[in-house]
Amino acid sequence: MRKFNVAVVGATGAVGEELFRVMEAYDFPIQNLVPLASARSAGEKIVFAGKEHTVLELTETVFEENEVDIAFFSAGGSISEKFAKFAVEGGAVVIDNTSHFRMDENVPLVVPEVNPEDIELWKNTGIIANPNCSTIQMVLSLKPLDELYGIKRVDVSTYQAVSGAGKAGMEELVKQMQAFFAFELDESKKDCFAHQIALNVIPQIDVAQENSFTKEEMKMVNETQKILHKDVQVAATCVRVPVLRSHSESITVTFEDDVDVDVAEVRESLERFENVEVIDDLENNAYPMPIISTDTDITYVGRIRKDVYAQNIVHFFNVADQVRVGAATNSVRIALKWIEMENDI
Ligand code: A2P
């Protein structure tokens, strides 16, 4: 089997580090690994598959010099904006984990279990975009339901972990909790979030938009429509919670008017879907929670129930590891599908 030269831009970040772990777990066909970060981290060592690799500085020429075939970008939108083109010009396919290219109509936005066919559009620009973490786990549970009954509208509230703000977000929560237990918590000390996150919930993720939704909320609207190829109505409320690294979502789905929801059918269609598992036994206190999904590649769904008033509405709860399902694992799955499609494997 052919092996590939793989670059990871943002190799020292939360998603970058997880990418290495996921590639090890999936036995990714790597010839040469090229970890890239800022000049601050150049020279640091990372261990991959039992071997040490030196972190290089991200430059315009590093992709060509290292004959990179696949470049994962996870160092923020402005870095992708500036450097993705050099990776493409150097001969690589870029799998971009930032929001920079997601809504570009020439760039495919892919969750491999949901819209793998879009990967072939990579030829337009050399870039494949990885959706927002909250969108990924939501469309993984929407797709089987859309196939079952046809979705008209989705109302979602998220409970998003601090890992969405990278390593710095996770450190801020841990430090604030430590300060709390030492009776030293200073509410004015915060870098990542607009307010104290320890022992709090913050109903704002990303910046305000003109329509009073936030940018994160509108990402969930626009990206869901692009991935499902459908003008499904979506209303999101995105909330940051003091959880380390799994996002939860409370989702209400309204199907076409003539649908009469059968919860057993809903459960079965979710159970059959790739990389989705149902945990749904309320009487025995069994349902998805962040402590169940963390460090896994599964989107867990539970609390499935039919609306009390409308026969075409179902409610459920889902959780997934933001760093894995919402970022690293989805990127690696895109790359593996791309390898399969483009190299006739
Ligand atoms: P560095 O550690 O050298 O700053 P996180 O998402 O956890 O916040 O991580 C962000 C990642 O993006 C890190 O690997 C970080 O590298 C990388 N990064 C940030 N700024 C740059 C830059 N100007 N050039 C290259 N990589 C960058």
Using the mean position of ligand 1's atoms as its centre, give its distance from the Cα of residue 80 in Å: 11
Ligand 1 atom nearest 58 alpha carbon = 25
Instruction: Please report the pLDDT score of residue 81 as a whole number.
Output: 98
Minimum-distance ligand 1 atom for the alpha carbon of 41: 3
Nearest to 305 by CA among 289, 287, 284, 290: 287
Q: What is the pLDDT of residue 345?
A: 55
| φ, ψ (nearest 5 deg) of residue 116 | -60, -30
Token readout for 134 is 């909250």
- 12 C-alpha vs ligand 1 centroid, how far in Å? 7
Mean pLDDT by 10 residues, the chain (345 residues): 95 97 97 98 96 97 98 98 98 98 98 97 98 98 98 98 96 97 89 96 98 98 98 98 98 98 98 98 98 98 98 98 98 97 75
Quote the ligand 1 centre to 117 CA distance (angstroms): 31
Q: Which residues line ligand 1 (CB under 6 A)?
A: 10-16, 37-38, 40-41, 58, 75-76, 79, 166-168
What whole-number distance in Å separates Cα of residue 141 and Cα of residue 150?
A: 13
Amino acid letter, 165: A
Active site residues: 133, 247
What's the pLDDT at 57?
98
Residue nearest to atom 14 of ligand 1 (CA): 10
**Which residue's alpha carbon is nearest to atom 21 within ligand 1?**
38
Q: Compute, in angstroms, the gap from residue 133 CA to the centroid of ligand 1.
A: 18
* Residue 342 confidence (pLDDT): 86
